[in-house]
Amino acid sequence: MRTRTRTIRAAAGLLAAGLVLGACGGDSDSDTESSGGDAPEASGGELLIWVGDGPGGDATTALADAFGEENGVDVTVEVLPGSELQANFVTAAQAGDAPDVVMGAHDWIGNLVQNGTIDPIQIPETVSSTLQPLALEAVTFDGQTYGMPFTMNNIVLIRNTDLAPDAPATVEEMVAAGKKAVQEGAQAPLAWPVSNTGNPYFINPLYTSGGGYMFGQTDDGSFDPSDLGVGTPGSVEAYEKIGELGEKGQGVLKRSVNTDNAIGLFTEGKTPFLIEGPWQLTTIDASDINYEVSEVPGFEGMDPASPFITVDAAYVASGSANKTLAQEFVTNYWSRADVGAQLFEATKNVPANTDTLSQIEGDNPAVAAVAAAGAANGQIMPSIPEMAAVWDPLGKAEAAVIGGADPESTIQSAAKAIEAAINE
């Protein structure tokens, strides 16, 4: 289960007993900068953290090292395959072998709470005031806060400015500009990941612009699992519009385009438009493409396109044997602007901390544009357990409609499959 383990031992005497993690003003070079309140005196202890693999895992390991040194504690970071992390965490928690802290996506929260594996946390106002409001919304479930958000991502329109100088205001303008680029030598009008099994995450801007939604919301903003949007007239209308862009319509949405090959089409100059997230900006920066980032456009005369916002957060395990230390790490250390800045340098994901975002946006205008697009029209991806029943049926329905299937009967069938899975 464990792919790599690094144990960090803080040497004795590195810190004075009175060291605190309190805020120290606006010096971004300080190792003790904090957006939270004062931490307790260092008194030793042990902390086990689980994180997914990739650049974020490596950065978490290094940052946990610094936490151990600052507090005179032993910190062990275990890096696991990201695709297996949630399931492994639930299994370990149920077996009484959970870590103290786990890093994961906000849409895990419903499942983790349902399984009794994470505790609510108390975020001081001095910390919450530095977090993007939608990020806080993402980690709130049934009126309680369950994680410290540290990244907040959404897909955007990335445009080759040599092939398409102006940002399109509508889908129709984008399609017209893409077709013009093809006439002038480009290979494809746009690269929008679909795949043979569909991709509801990537198609959500068009789905919402056309009138669709996933789950309704109650007065307090919580998602209502009894109000499924798939199968409603708005969802059918949305997929009628999506189908018109498909393989038997205008041919701009294709199942042959997926998250693996879409980036290559763009970086090789074969298409003027790419729908992707900030995690691809490093790859694009390494190419010779001149590009700009803007909001995903919606259909002319219809609702704004609303991409899903996904948040990564740090959670305190209910089975932690070191909850005080885990809470300290999550609320007073992982929330720090300087910690967020170091994490950003490794991952290039949009920081959830507004102080961190202010620090990095001048040198990273594309990341700032992603954040602005999310704040303008983004919607938090539902974190209720019932959302797990949506992905497969709706994805397959999307692929079928883009391939030419009848939108109404296809979406109605998907709705029945989703409802059956929810009611199992």
Determine the average pLDDT of the residues in 362-380.
Answer: 95
What is the pLDDT, as a whole number, of residue 244?
Answer: 98
Domains of the chain, by residue range, sit at 4-152+310-378, 156-306+390-422
d(CA 301, CA 298): 8
Continuous segment of H or E residues that includes residue 51: strand 46-52
Higher-confidence residue of 129 and 15: namely 129
Q: What is the mean pLDDT of residues 229-244?
A: 98
Instruction: Mark 303-342 as b/e (b = at least 16 C-beta within 10 Å).
Output: bebbbbbbbbbbbbbbbbebeebbbbbbbbbbbbbbbbbe
Q: How far is it, in rounded angstroms, from Cα 349 to Cα 277?
A: 9
Q: Is the dihedral of CA 79, 81, 83, 87 positive or negative?
A: negative
> At residue 132, does pLDDT exceed 60?
yes
Whole-angstrom Cα distance, residue 37 to residue 33? Answer: 11
Class of domain 156-306+390-422: alpha beta
Give the residue-averaged pLDDT of 70-85: 94
**Residue 275 pLDDT more than 80?**
yes
CB neighbours (10 Å) of residue 29?
A: 6
> How far is residue 274 from each of residues 16, 44, 246, 289, measured CA to CA in Å?
52, 49, 16, 12
Pick from 278, 254, 244, 246: nearest CA to 188:
254
User: Per CATH, which fold does 4-152+310-378 belong to?
Assistant: D-Maltodextrin-Binding Protein; domain 2 (3.40.190)
The beta strand positions in 161-268, using DSSP E, are 215-217, 223-228
How many Cα atoms occupy the beta-carbon half-sphere of 309 within 13 Å?
30
* Residue showing tokens 């990335």: 158
For residue 344 the two structure tokens come to 């950003």
| pLDDT tens digit sequence for 136-171 | 999 999 899 999 999 999 999 999 999 999 999 999
Q: Answer left, alpha or beta for residue 54, where phi above 0 means left and psi between -120 and 50 means alpha.
A: left
Q: What is the mean pLDDT of the chain?
A: 90
Which residues sit opposite 158 in a β-bridge?
274, 293
At 44, is the pLDDT very low, low, confident or very high (cuts 50, 70, 90)? low
Q: Are strands 144-145 and 140-141 parallel, antiparallel or unpaired?
A: antiparallel
Q: What is the mean pLDDT of residues 292-320?
A: 97
The stretch 382-391 carries a mean pLDDT of 95
- Whether 99 and 48 have beta carbons less than 8 Å apart is answered as yes
- Structure confidence at residue 19 as a pLDDT band (50, 70, 90): very low
